[in-house]
Amino acid sequence: MQTHHGIHTERPGQSAEDKIIRHLITASGYVSGEEIARELRISRTAIWNHVNNLKKNGFRIESQPHLGYQLVALPDKLLPALVLNGLKTDLIGRKIIHYARTTSSNDEAEKLARTGEREGVVIIAEEQTSGKGRVGRVWHSPKGKGIYLSVVLRPQLPPARVSFLTLCSAISAAEAIHRSAGLRAFVKWPNDVLVSGKKACGILTELATESDRINYAIVGVGINVNQEASDLADLKMATSLKIEKGKEVSRLELTRAFLESLDSNYALILHEHYGEIIDRWLQVSATIGKRILAESLSGEKWEGVATGLDEDGCLLLRLDNGMTRRITGGDVSIV
């Protein structure tokens, strides 16, 4: 694995190493090299070479003469073969590309989308050297600590409704954090996911539009999973799941849980069930009913009580003069 050379895995038609990983994961004890060689129709020497490669990648595999190979431990890496093992999705993750290190998974996804990649492809990075946040901010992406992934989508959505992509991804992240780490997570309009009132996840949706349609959308999700307090020291109001839970959280299980939630919530968008997205969002909202300060990209400020979302997913704010103001973008903070 090298910078800018991703490991690609598609379902079906996986690489020999992916198939060996599957064999080793599903076996309860030793699997003979001969058996794997027969099934993959390659030589036992080839299997041996692949196994050595897997060991270099952090798989702990024991080999015993006459018995074969046994998997002892998996690497803490979001390798496609591991993420795909047991993943229950239709569309999201039908192809997964993994980078040990890259500038930004959104940029990698963008390059693919621009050259016609189908929707559902997921780019995962262990480390990002220029992780991007919203409004030109940096997203700190230390190696192996967080989840940094991007999904290529091609929704047939009117551009006015694009906020639904971000809302849908935020709900999915909140659901996944709850399901897989057991922590209650709430969504803060438009794109943050909070645990104990602090930001644990952010979403950056980037769009390519053509006249009145979306050509593609890149949904980039960053989750602070196993960061220590010292990793977040210079970030105000940020937290990680490990800090909140008091112990490590499996990035692998959380990644799968997120992709599965996104798969079912994105299907709601494809079926135009926007009302259902709004309902789900309201159920996990940290914003509604709170007094908030909204600041537009041009610097305008509005303070009031968040009362709901409109049919385009914009935030409705009741100002102190009784008027309702529709917030379409920018930043929101809870006062």
Task: Report the residue number, 6 or 222, with the smaller CB distance to ligand BTN.
Answer: 222
276's enclosing H/E stretch is helix 274-283
Tell the smallest beta-carbon distance from residue 124 to ligand BTN (Å).
Answer: 9
Q: Is 255 exposed, middle or buried (0-12, 13-18, 19+ CB in 10 A)?
A: buried
Residue with tokens 């409704």: 161
Q: Which residue is nearest to ligand BTN (CB)?
A: 202
Contacts of 305 (CB under 8 A, 6+ apart): 289, 290, 291, 292, 317, 318
Tell the smallest beta-carbon distance from residue 155 to ligand BTN (Å).
Answer: 18
Task: Report the residue number, 50 or 261, with the smaller CB distance to ligand BTN.
Answer: 261
Task: Report the residue number, 79 or 149, with the smaller CB distance to ligand BTN.
Answer: 149
The pairing of strands 121-125 and 95-99 is: parallel
176's enclosing H/E stretch is helix 163-181
Half-sphere exposure of 49 (CA within 13 A, CB side): 6
Contacts of 298 (CB under 8 A, 6+ apart): none
Task: Report the residue number, 50 or 132, with the smaller CB distance to ligand BTN.
Answer: 132
Task: Report the residue number, 71 or 180, with the smaller CB distance to ligand BTN.
Answer: 180
Tell the smallest beta-carbon distance from residue 73 to ligand BTN (Å).
Answer: 27
User: What single string gives the DSSP state of each residue in 259-271?
Assistant: HHHHHHHHHHHHT
CA dist 124 and 266 (Å) reads 19
Sign of the C-alpha dihedral computed for residues 149, 164, 273 and 277 taken in this order: positive
The angle at the Cα of 172, spanning 166 to 177, to the nearest 5 degrees, equals 130
Tell the smallest beta-carbon distance from residue 130 to ligand BTN (Å).
Answer: 7
Tell the smallest beta-carbon distance from residue 219 to ligand BTN (Å).
Answer: 9
Whether the Cβ atoms of residue 106 and residue 220 lie closer than 8 Å to each other: yes
Task: Report the residue number, 50 or 251, with the smaller CB distance to ligand BTN.
Answer: 251
Residue with tokens 């989750």: 223
Tell the smallest beta-carbon distance from residue 65 to ligand BTN (Å).
Answer: 45
CA dist 72 and 68 (Å) reads 13
Tell the smallest beta-carbon distance from residue 171 to ligand BTN (Å).
Answer: 15
Tell the smallest beta-carbon distance from residue 6 to ligand BTN (Å).
Answer: 14
Tell the smallest beta-carbon distance from residue 12 to ligand BTN (Å).
Answer: 27
Task: Report the residue number, 54 or 177, with the smaller CB distance to ligand BTN.
Answer: 177
Task: Report the residue number, 50 or 140, with the smaller CB distance to ligand BTN.
Answer: 140
Task: Report the residue number, 140 or 280, with the smaller CB distance to ligand BTN.
Answer: 140
Q: Considering all CA atoms of the chain, what is the largest pairwise distance in Å, rounded to the nearest integer?
A: 81
Residues in the site for ligand BTN, rule: CB under 6 A? 104-106, 128, 131-134, 137, 139, 148-150, 191-192, 202-204, 220-222
